[in-house]
Amino acid sequence: MDRRKWGLTAVLVSSLLAAHAGLAADAYADTVAHGPVPIADFIRQPDFSKVTISPDGHYLATLVPQPDNPYGNLICIVDVGTGKILHVLRSGRSMLVSDYLWASDSRIIATVAIQYGGLDTPTPTGELFAINADGSDAIDLFGYRAGSMQTGSMIPVLQRRDAYAEPLGVDPVAENKILIATNDFTLSREGSYTSAEVLDVRNGRTVSQGASPVRNAKLIADHAGLVRVAYADNDYAGDVVWLRASANDAWTVLNDPAKTGIEFVPIGFNRDNSKLYVRVAHGDRPDAIELLDIASNTFRRLYQGAFANPGTLLPTADGLDYYAVITQDGQQKLFYLDDDSLEARLSKALAANFPGQLAYFSSFTRDGKHAVVTVVSDRNPGDYYLFDLGTHNARHLFSAMPWIDPKQMRPMQPIAFTTRDDLLLHGFLTLPAGHPPFPMIVLPHGGPHGIADEWRFDPEVQLFANRGYAVLQINYRGSGGYGSNFISRGFRQWGLSMQDDLTDATKWAIQQGYADAKRICIYGASYGGYAALEGAVREPDLYRCAIGYDGVYDLRVQLSRSDTEQTDRGDAYLKLALGSDPDDLLRRSPLSGVSRIKADILLIHGGEDPRAPFKNFQELVKALQQSGKHVETLVEPAEGHGFFLPQHKEEAYEKIVEFIDRHIGSNTMTSSNQGSPDTSP
């Protein structure tokens, strides 16, 4: 595949990112000459993301960061024919465009997040803004700031709405009209009902299609632009799904898992609106993609992975059906729902040009003649191509992070092993260059329930591997991605079998010869921070050091102070996942096991963290100091759950790397092993 620049990247970088591009080039040259890739290169935002083509094929759009303003970004509009920037649409000084879509051939709708007060991380507002590709006719379309006056009169064009809106789908339902789902802001713990509305993207006027049958529901429209499906799981007993024939008809229950024993989540309608694509739970087996015939209430299975749940479904060129599913059995690949479809045939031809990577159509023109192709892998943060479906020609548009050289990155190898209680677990092992055994970082993911580590470019993993560390990521019981029963196996197992899984994984890596048993550190964020500290408590001789980043260290705090607890649905989740007995919660908290810790500890936390409240940090630091344990800390008072500002991220990772180097120090980057043959699982 021709990866030559189209002139586009050079234009954008030179006009918008010149200073950053120069720094990146200097950093890359320094890397080649002196060793590790700078930390800043791994935490830096991509130069290009969310690349789409307009419905008529005349424009490309992409999100670009604002130089020297982390709270803002840009939508760049590029002429497809010439590759020149036509317009740069700025989000504002303290406002990020979080997402956008083409509402017509030339009009864009954006959702935003705003930086408020002393909190560094921008907060989604539920507002919708509209602007033309040439920068004209900008308007606050929906939200609490709508209500501007019509030019030359005192008649409001829009009405202020104290509500949260999000577009339903990516395609307009009629000329200058899109579907949105709205939820009124409320202080009620129960949440609010979801309304379906047709929004005129020129003036903000809406026409209601009615409300959901239950609070906090998600909505799905058919290809005629009618919202016909609603689903919700407010008590964590499985999604109840409702159906209606039209906006004027009453909702009826299509499936209640408590009554049918079948649990599924709707995805979208097929071409003639007679069937629903659904993801069906199969207990100990992975979820499957199936086609539900609405009239007969029968299912036809289309795809089920060998051991992992299916990923995203990819829409056809006309947006009326799906042609493939991204698989998650280790390395991500495509499974084609119709091998003979044009999209499948062209996609297969594309894939041959990108061995070891995932290439897929991510945005089509209305006539299906041109598409944006996204190419990603465990070593490639992303490349974007413009593809002509008629001539089969492709030209390179952008590299998401052009300062990252995929040849310097390390492969993310899928692994599997059996635990002490005979449960098969899957995960990934990333090894540095050189010969094992290596010093190793055990990196449990956050969440924990329903979240999973996947095969992808992970800047954090590559940062550590680039510095000579093996990185072990295990999808312990309770993780998502491996069937519904796998998730439930983790309920009320924090500090018990979930922790045993991490211990067993660590010992497996040692036994296989990948890890140096005397040089292992465990590090994680959120739940991963909990698991890191609980690992130091339960296995004091296994880990030399432990690092918690915005971690949970007193489970009782989560049930009394976290933002999760502030809604009925969140409270139901916490009691299902953790339990509610205060004595039991304390027993399974790192706070209660401080006396058993031998490892040195590093704790990093945001002072305004709503998810893992700062009290977790304060209690644990006090207990460690009173017990005479070695603990180092880093606090950013205005940060929330995960640092947002680049300088704070860089400071945190500098502290983490220095701490790890000091305790399980690796000389890989300067040793004679540099560049020697790899050893893979």
A 10 A CB-CB count for 423 gives: 16
Query: Domain of 153?
Result: 138-261
Q: Which of 136, 165, 190 is the last residue of a domain?
A: 136
Indicate the helix (H) or strand (E) that contains 206: strand 206-215
CATH code, domain carrying 630:
3.40.50.1820
Residue carrying the six token digits 């990923």 = 311
Predicted pLDDT at 68: 83
Report CA-CA distances (Å) from 470 to 412, 428, 511, 522: 10, 11, 14, 12
Q: Are 224 and 320 in contact (CB under 8 A)?
A: no
Predicted pLDDT at 160: 85
Q: Does residue 512 belong to any structural domain of this protein?
A: yes
Predicted pLDDT at 120: 82
The candidate with the shortest Cα–Cα distance to 180, out of 164, 160, 202, is: 164
The candidate with the shortest Cα–Cα distance to 315, out of 278, 279, 357, 270, is: 270
Predicted pLDDT at 145: 85
Q: Does residue 483 belong to any structural domain of this protein?
A: yes
Q: Does residue 151 belong to any structural domain of this protein?
A: yes
- The number of CA neighbours under 13 Å toward the Cβ of 494 is 34
Question: Same structural domain for residues 494 and 615?
Answer: yes
Q: Are 431 and 676 in contact (CB under 8 A)?
A: no
Q: Does residue 274 belong to any structural domain of this protein?
A: no
In sequence order, which residues have a C-beta less than 8 Å from that of residue 550 and are 6 or more positions away? Answer: 525, 526, 529, 604, 605, 606, 609, 611, 612, 641, 642
Question: Same structural domain for residues 100 and 131?
Answer: yes
**How do strand 193-200 and strand 139-142 relate by DSSP bridges?**
unpaired
Q: Does residue 634 belong to any structural domain of this protein?
A: yes
Q: Are 582 and 554 in contact (CB under 8 A)?
A: no
Q: Which of 231, 261, 291 is the last residue of a domain?
A: 261
Q: Does residue 33 belong to any structural domain of this protein?
A: yes
Burial 35-63 (b: 16+ CB within 10 A, else e): ebbbbbbbbbbbbbbbbbbbbebbbbbbb
Q: Residue 679, class by beta-carbon neighbours within 10 Å (0-12 exposed, 13-18 middle, 19+ buried)?
A: middle
In sequence order, which residues have a C-beta less than 8 Å from that of residue 176 and are 6 or more positions away? Answer: 103, 104, 107, 200, 201, 202
Residue ranges of alpha helices (H) inside 549-610 are 555-560, 568-578, 582-587
A 10 A CB-CB count for 565 gives: 18
DSSP 19-40: HHHHHHHHHHHHHHHHSSPPHH
Question: Same structural domain for residues 181 and 202?
Answer: yes
Q: Has this prediction a pTM greater than 0.85?
A: yes
Question: Same structural domain for residues 649 and 611?
Answer: yes
- Taking each helix axis from N to C terminus, what angle separates 646-664 and 459-466, rounded to the nearest 10 degrees? 40
Question: Same structural domain for residues 494 and 363?
Answer: no
A 10 A CB-CB count for 25 gives: 12
The candidate with the shortest Cα–Cα distance to 394, out of 380, 413, 375, is: 375
A 10 A CB-CB count for 355 gives: 8
Predicted pLDDT at 672: 31
Structure tokens that stand for 277 in this block: 């694509």
Question: Same structural domain for residues 499 and 613?
Answer: yes
Q: Are 452 and 475 in contact (CB under 8 A)?
A: yes
Q: What is the largest CA-CA distance in the chain?
A: 77
- With DSSP H G I counted as helix, E B as strand and the rest as coil, what are the percentages for the chain, rounded to 5? 20, 35, 45
Q: Are 28 and 40 in contact (CB under 8 A)?
A: no
Structure tokens that stand for 126 in this block: 């539920």
Query: Rounded to whole angstroms, how far apart are CA atoms 326 and 279?
Result: 13
Question: Same structural domain for residues 180 and 106?
Answer: no
- C-alpha angle with apex 205: 200 to 209, nearest 5 degrees? 85
A 10 A CB-CB count for 297 gives: 11
Query: Rounded to whole angstroms, how far apart are CA atoms 535 and 529?
Result: 10
Q: Which of 136, 165, 185 is the last residue of a domain?
A: 136
Residue carrying the six token digits 């749940």 = 309
Question: Same structural domain for residues 128 and 155?
Answer: no
- The number of CA neighbours under 13 Å toward the Cβ of 55 is 18
* Bond preceding residue 432 cis, omega within 30 of 0: no
Question: Same structural domain for residues 31 and 129?
Answer: yes
CATH code, domain carrying 93:
2.40.128
- Average pLDDT, consecutive stretches of 10 residues, N- to C-terminus, the chain (681 residues): 36 39 38 73 96 97 92 93 90 88 95 82 91 92 74 49 93 92 95 96 94 97 96 94 95 97 97 98 98 97 98 96 97 96 94 95 96 98 96 95 97 98 98 97 97 98 98 98 97 98 98 98 98 98 98 96 94 96 98 98 97 97 97 96 95 98 70 42 69
Give me the residues paired with residue 73 across strands: 65
Q: Are 44 and 647 in contact (CB under 8 A)?
A: no
The candidate with the shortest Cα–Cα distance to 368, out of 387, 345, 348, is: 387
Query: Rounded to whole angstroms, how far apart are CA atoms 472 and 470?
Result: 7
Question: Same structural domain for residues 158 and 177?
Answer: yes
Predicted pLDDT at 95: 87
Structure tokens that stand for 317 in this block: 């060129």
Task: Kindly tell me the number of DSSP H helices and DSSP E strands found in the chain.
Answer: 14, 35
Q: Does residue 576 belong to any structural domain of this protein?
A: no
Q: Does residue 39 belong to any structural domain of this protein?
A: yes
Q: How many residues does the chain have?
A: 681
The candidate with the shortest Cα–Cα distance to 526, out of 438, 432, 613, is: 613
Total count of domains within the chain: 4
Question: Same structural domain for residues 86 and 180?
Answer: no
A 10 A CB-CB count for 4 gives: 8
Question: Same structural domain for residues 61 and 24?
Answer: yes
What one-character DSSP code corresponds to residue 285?
A: E
Coil, helix or strand at residue 7:
coil
